[in-house]
Structure 1
Amino acid sequence: MAANNGPSVFWDRIIPFIYSAGAAVVIVGAMGKIMHYDWASVMLPVGLSVEAVIFLIYAAQSLLRPTVEYQWERVYPELDVNYKGELPTRSSTTQSSGLGLTAKMDDMLANAKINPDIFESLKAGIQNLNQSVSNLGEITSTGVVTAEFNGKVKEAAAKIGEMNSSLGNAVGAMVSLGDATRDAQEYRNQFHKISQNMSALNAIYEIELQDTNRHLKSMNAFYGNFSNVLNDMSDVSKDSQQFKAELNKLTTNLASLNNVYGSMLSAMKGSASV
């Protein structure tokens, strides 16, 4: 292997826990900001900072713990990109060494003391060898699958990075929306206060209008009474004129009466002197 990427408690257990816990902090902060909780103004920056730290840890993980890559060219040289020889071929050939080969084989078997137990042991050994070769093939297939899995993991990590970026943009948009909603709420509160003030002004105006109506009614009554007084004064003026006329007549009559009495007295004096 190119690097020692064996099981690690830190990378395999602690780091995934940090990823999940940090994402939970970000989600809780975004929820608090959307719901306009008091603690959201502190929680959201903390969550975004934790998310930034998580991305830094992921970047460090990509450098310090790279993907496992097996050097199969060391086992199969023909897999090397710089291999220029002929591709190996597998063939089985039998060669005859002459008529004495069978006799030699018989002598070798006799000297080696070959018996059925030896053949059973050989059979068992061949079976174990076949099993080992099969396991080796499974390991090779597992390495290929692991390489494909690592490629998929890298693609998924890239997609997660894009999703986190989109999530950051969405969180920013939600924050802006939350600010706009808060401004709208404040505008609504101000408008509600204005409505209350207008209601109070309407009540005051209605009270003033009622007082004005009462004053108008009082003034109308006063002017009505004053008109009656003027009419009465007009009648009194007419009576005064009539009284004056009658008084003039009386004065004239008294003057005439005085003249008559004066004439009578003169006549009476004249008669007395004769």
Structure 2
Amino acid sequence: MASCFGASIVIIGALFKIMHWPGASIALIGGLGTEAVLFCLFGIDIPHEEVDWTLAYPELAGMGHEEPETHNGLPVSQQLDKMLEEAKIGPDLIESLGAGMKTLSDSASKIGDISDAHSATSEYVSNVKSASASVSTLADTYKSAAKSMEDLANSNDAGYSIGESLNKVSKNLSALNATYELQLQGSKDHLDATNKFYDGLHDLMKNLHDSVEDTRKYRQEMSSLSGNLTALNTIYGNMLSAMNYNK
């Protein structure tokens, strides 16, 4: 009975070690130590002396040496051989069974490799978490890029409206230049200033098309520029009206 308790402690210690539970080393040491102590005790245990009770009780003579049980006049061993023969269980099948038991024993001896599998699984889970974080970062980057593209599309709409205003400005400037050539020969300086203004507008449009880094600021500048161009168109229109009126 004591050996059974010792074996159970050894099994529990091995279970702690295989599952990597806290205190596994202590549990395994305790189990194996208990088993070693029990084996030592069994080694020094004095064998129990069997007493021949037939000397005191002659009627017990022969009870411990019963004849082998027979069935239909055949010993049990012969009956077992006959059953194995009828079931077609021969030496080959028994040898195959022994090989299977050996394979099972080898598989059980490799249970210690579970710890390596556990480490590999932990590393795999860590890699999956890193990949998930990378995918989340990629999704955020994609959202930012989509927002920038949306702002850029809105800016392109504003740029189209400003382009129409610039076309009107160009027409007004052409008419104004023709009027200056006919009526104001001394307005060369003013015409040069107007040409510089037109060149500045051309450069501004070029810079706006080449730059996409600051979309929000771009839209604000376009809105302000549109207002200025509208006011400028009004001024030039009034000037043309006044000059034509003077004619």
Rg (Cα) greater in structure: 1
**TM-score scaled to structure 1, two decimals?**
0.34
**TM-score where L is the length of structure 2:** 0.37
